[in-house]
Every structure is written in C-alpha cells, then in structure tokens.
Structure 1
Amino acid sequence: MKAAVFKAPGAPLAVETVADPQPGPQELLISVGACGVCGTDLHWTENRDTSGGWRELRAGGILGHEFAGEVVEVGRDVKDRFRPGDSVCALPFIGCGRCAACMAGRVYRCAEVDTRASTTLPGAYAEYARVGSAETVRLPAGVDHRTGALVEPLAVGLAAAERARFSSGASVLIMGAGPVGLSVAMWCRFLGARHVVVSDLVPSRAERSADFGATDSIDASREVVAERMQQIAGGPPDVVFECVGVPGTLQLAVEHVANDGCVVVAGLCMGADSFSPAIAVVKAIDLRFTMCYEKRHFEIIVDHLDRGRIDVSQLVTDTVGFGAFPAKFEQLKRAGDDLKVLLNPSLA
C-alpha cells in the first residue's frame, strides 16, 4: 500500500510503498477514506528533544490518527460484530481490553496500549489502517468519511471542555483558533458558556471562530487581550483554554484568567516551558491538563453529527492526495489560513 512515511526530524514525509497491515483476531482492516493532519504530528516531525516526555518518532513511522474509512477485513473473533463495507471511525490506539483502564473506557491508560505511529501500529496516512474492534465506532449513513475524520479532533475539544467543569453562564477565553481551539469553542457554547472568546495571532482564523460558536474574537497580533475581555465580558475569563502548544502560552493563560479561575492546557508543547507560579498562587487558580478522550466521546459526537446538532462542514479547508501531501504537510508548519487539511488516499 501507499503511505506517507516519516524519515527524520525536519525532513518532509516520503510517499512510499509499504506492506499492508494484517488485522489480528479482534481487529479490523479499514480502507482509509480520509485522515486529518493534527498539529501534534506537525510538532512531532520537528521534535529533536525527547527529554520533554513525548516519545521518539522513529524513521519509518507512519503518522495519522484522525481518520475514518470502510472495513475491508474482519478479524476471526469479531465477525459477528462487523462486516466488510461498514463505515467506521476509530480511536487511535488499541488496548488489551482486559485491564481496569480499558474496562473504564480509558484505553490510553492501558499498560499494554498500542498507539499510532509506533513501530507496531502504523497510522492512517496510508491506504489501509489496522484498528481494534473495541475502539471502533460505526458511522451512520448520514456521516461520510470526510466528517468522520473530524470526530477525533472534536473529541479532543469535548474532553477539554468537560475538564474545565465550568458553570452555565461562564466566560471562557480560548487561546488558539486552530481545529482544537475551534472544537473547544463549539463545545463550550454547546455546554452553556455565555461568553466564548477566541484569540489568535492570525486575524482570519480568529474571525472564523464565529462559525463554530464563538461569541467574540480577538486579534492577538494587535489587540490587548485583557482589555478586550474587559469590553466583552466585563472582566477576566473564568476559564482559559491554552490550545496553542508553544512555549510561553501557558504563562499568558495564567495571566489572563480570573482570580479563582481555571486554566485548561489542551495544546501539546513538546519543548521545555515555564511560568511564574507566584501568579497562579496569588490568583488561586486551578491548572488542569487534558490528555485524551474516551470512546464515549466518539459515540456522543457521532450521534450529534447524525442528528444535525453540530455543523463542522467549514472546519475542512483542503483535501489532498498522496501527490500533494508531503508539501502540504510542510506548508502547515507555517502560520496560515488553513484549519483542517485531510489526506484522501484515493486522490492522485
């Protein structure tokens, strides 16, 4: 099969022919219909320092964890649950299925978990992907693969919004108008926040947040965030979501949040970062990090999509085939107007 393969930090992905994955007894093989590019992948392919706690990406690895597709082969133990032709999306890891973490739905905490882009579980920047049946969610007829590939980033946003545990009527500030930030904005509005404010250094991205539930936006390249929050909400936000993932943004989030407020870190910063603890102490803020989601988040989102309760059609700004994918991947490492870019393996 064709796949976009990681070669070395800072080097473009290379489209190569690799062996087709083989599903195990409780696994499925899917033909990938669409796979989204995540900011984590962009950071990861540039990361040369593994001391920050994120595992090393080895040459030959295949990234891609936001995907949907069609089942083409079913493992022998799950033929009663799935069949070829089923349209599905799946969590980007496979657990043992037996431990307390797996039974609780927190597969990412399984001691034996296999995650995408590891040496044993290639990602979905490929024509085919192997998935665990227990981690797979069927897509109804009204949810196509393009939309199904958005379930994972939407789950990131939903889990982050839940992590804040804010009250109805709260004011929230979301730093970063990328796909995760926009997903957080959508769910914050859905869950009852009164002021949902998105800030970004790229004005066009900030302005676009209105399409995803934001009540206001801030052009952080020329506006003072604290002053604009005063104008919009009458004071600092109750909750700040850090959805950028670069050094320095955590400090800004701590500075922006209200006294007794909450900062939720959803951006993945792979390098060393620092902030002044004294500010957080004086403000008596809660600092929370969000790592992942559960299968229930996928199921909730698929149900909302099927019922037409959420509209994410404008999140996808480009779809490319393997021919254009390596260059597009590199382009996304630079600030621009794109939101979510999809790889469609069936395109040239």
Structure 2
Amino acid sequence: MRAARITGLRQTDLAEVPVPAPAPGTVLVRTRQVGICGTDLEILHGTSAFLQDGRTTFPHVFGHEWYGEVAAYADDPPEGAPAVGSPVVGRTMVPCVRCAACHAGRPQRCAALRETGLYGLQGAAADYVRVPTHALTPLPAGLPEGTGALIEPAVSVVEAYSRAGLAFDDRVAVIGTGTMGLLAVQFAHHYAAAVDAVGIDPAGLDLALGCGADAAHHADEVPEGAYSLIVEASGAASAFTAALRMARRGGRVALVGVAREPVSFVPGELSLQGVDVLGIQHGVSHYDRTVALFERGVLEAGPLVAEVVAAESADAVRHAFALLERGRSGPPKVLLDFGGPLVTRS
C-alpha cells in the first residue's frame, strides 16, 4: 500500500509498505483524507518533542487528522460497532481505557497513551491504517467532503469551551486565525453573545469574519479588559500575556495553542482579577458531539480548506508540506487525499 512518510529532517516520500496485519481488538480502515498541521511540520523540522524524547523515529508515517471507511475487523466487532464499508473518523489519542486516569474520565492523562500518527501508532497517511476498535467514531452520511479531517482539531475546541463553561452571555475573543482559531470562532458565533477574532494575518482575519466573527482586530489593537472568555489558539507565547490583559475581572483564558517559549507576567494579577487559566490538552471525549456539530452546520470544514492534494507521488507529498510551510494568504488547512485507486503489492 502507499504510505506518506517523513523520512528525515525536511525529507518526505511516498513508499510502498505492507498493509498492517490484523491484531486482536483492532480494525483496518481505508483512509480517505488526512489533514496536515503544524504538529506534522514540527516532526518534519525536527523540533517535535516526540522526536526529541524518542517516542517518534524516522521513517515516520504521519497523519493524525483523518477519516475513512471500515475495511475489516480483526475479530468479531463489538455490538454497535460501525459496519464494514461505513464512514468513520479516527481518534488521535488512543488511551488504554484501563488505568486510573482513564477510569477517572481523564483519558488525556493515560499512563499508556498512544497517538495515531504522532507516536506509538502508525499514522493514517496511507491507504490503510490499523487502530483499536474503540478508537473510531461513526460519521453520518451526507457530510461535505473533507469534513472528517477537521473533526480531530475541532474536538479540542469543544473541550476548551466545555471546560471554560461557555455561556450565551459571554463576550469571547479568539486569538489566532489558523484552523483551531477559525473553528473556535464558528462555535462561539452560535453559542456566545459576541465573538471577536484577533490575529496578525489580514487574510486570516477576513476568514474569521466570514466564519462569524463580529469584529476582527490586529493583535496590536485589542481592547483590554473587554472579554469574559479568551481562547488562545495561536501558539504564540506573547498571546498568553495578551490574553491576560484582554480578560475582564472574573474572566477565563483557555489555552488551546501550545507555546514553547517562556513569558513574564505577575502571578498575583490572576488572583486579584479572579482570572481562571485553563490548559486544554485534547478533546478525546468529544468526538460524538463534534460530529453532531458539523452535521448541524454549527461547524463547517469548507471555508478552512485551502487545497486537497491527491497522494499520487512523492512530489505530491512534498507539495502538500510546501503549501503549509509557505505560509498562507487564505484558508489554513491542506488535505492529502488517498481516495484514488489503491496501489498495492502482494
């Protein structure tokens, strides 16, 4: 089968590899589309924590934002499992479902956690991917093409608003106009009193307005103390301190972006202002709800997709990553499409 791989620093290919062998409790899924995101770029550039701590090595089959159709179960599927041929979205985080953290309802903290396409499990950027049966969520018929690849990033947006307790009277600011930020704008457009987008990219701010933002502000021109909830989705360290300035008394700051640089701030201000800061890890428990949000049109994939690249050659894989590296003047998401003819070798 075809498998798109990161083979070294700034190196990719499209190789022929064996179809994953059946294993008890697993299901083989025929991949349709895979999203490429900043986490994949970190692996390509060698800056990923997964590479640095040895959880990931080259060659690496990437792909953690994906959907496809059930191809075959390794054993008898559990009652209610998606039928062979039915569309499914795969979960990135695959917890053990047995440890104390899993039983406590915090699978993100699972002691034996694996993540499809990041570490521990082959990614979905291939004709087939094998995952545990419990790591699939059914997709309804009729969803627009590409929707399944946006569900994985969207679950963390749902987690952010769930933990922050989004209310209809909230005035929300979303920092960042990438995939996560635009999804956060779409969500708040339906469930908050107002939502403003904050960023540095004019094209991204225009997209945010199209996704339902009431106003769009350059990062240097944001009103301070004006928002009851700020979703930080840019991953810029400076955005964290900006979010604290933007929060009104008693406000909340949900950190979806992953900033890796240190910042300076006065911790006592959090106490004096009564501001809650929430670290958002991943919304692994929200796949069903997120699928329903796309089905109802609260969330939409179409405005976020810049290009769909057919996974036909090594050059196509390189092109997909080059699009992401180049920066943007429009929608943020690049998809690799594996829906064409199968390429297999017996």
Q: TM-score, normalised by structure 2?
A: 0.87
Whether 1:224 aligns to 2:216 is: no
Q: Could you tell me which residue of structure 2 aligns to residue 232 of structure 1?
A: none
- Is the contact made by 1:71 and 1:88 (CA closer than 8 Å) also made in structure 2? yes
Q: Which amino acid aligns with 2:244?
A: V
Matching residue within 215, 222, 236 for 2:226: 236
Q: 1:305 to 1:172 in 2, by over 3 A?
A: closer
Cα shift readout 1:233-252 (whole Å, capped 9, x = no counterpart): xx521122111113322222
Q: Counterpart of 2:302? A: 313
Q: Which has the higher mean CA deviation after the structures are superposed, 52-61 or 238-247?
A: 52-61
Shift of 1:134: 1.1
Are residues 1:267 and 2:257 paired?
A: yes
Distance in 2 between the 1:259 and 1:31 partners?
Answer: 50
Query: Match of 2:344?
Result: none
Give the structure 1 partner of residue 337 of structure 2.
344
Is 1:134 equivalent to 2:131 in the alignment? no
Shift of 1:106: 3.9
**CA displacement at 1:165 relative to structure 2:** 1.7
1:239 partner letter: L
Residues in 2 aligned to 1:15 and 1:52: alpha-carbon distance in whole angstroms: 20
Q: Residues 333 and 247 from structure 1, CA distance in 2 versus in 1: closer, same or farther, beyond 3 angstroms?
A: farther
- Measured in 2, the distance between the counterparts of 1:105 and 1:151 equals 21
Deviation at 1:95? 2.7
| Letter in structure 1 aligned against 2:332 | L
User: How much is the aligned-residue C-alpha RMSD, in angstroms?
Assistant: 2.6
C-alpha distance in structure 1 between counterparts of 2:318 and 2:254, whole Å:
32
Work out the CA distance in 1 between the residues paired with 2:47 and 2:233. Answer: 22
Counterpart for residue 59 of structure 1:
58
The normalised TM-score by structure 1 is 0.86
Q: Considering fraction of residues, name the structure with more strand.
A: 2
Match of 1:304 in 2: 293
Amino acid at match of 1:267: G
Percent identical pairs in the alignment equals 27
Aligned 8 A contact 1:176 1:244 in 2: yes
The residue that corresponds to 2:186 in the other structure is 186
| Total equivalences in the alignment | 335
- Alignment gaps of 5+ in structure 1: 230-234
Alignment of 1:124 with 2:121, yes or no, is no
What is the rounded CA distance, in whole Å, between the counterparts of 2:117 and 2:148 in structure 1? 20
**How many Å apart are 1:183 and its aligned residue?**
1.1
**Residue number in structure 2 paired with 1:325:** 317
Offset at residue 34 of structure 1 (A): 0.7
Q: 1:171 to 1:47 in 2, by over 3 A?
A: farther
Task: Give unpaired runs (5+ residues) of structure 2.
Answer: 342-346
Structure 1: distance between partners of 2:190 and 2:228 = 17
Is the aligned partner of 1:251 residue 2:241?
yes
- Determine the C-alpha separation between the residues in 2 that align with 1:44 and 1:198: 29
Tell me if structure 2 keeps the 8 A contact 1:172–1:195.
Answer: yes
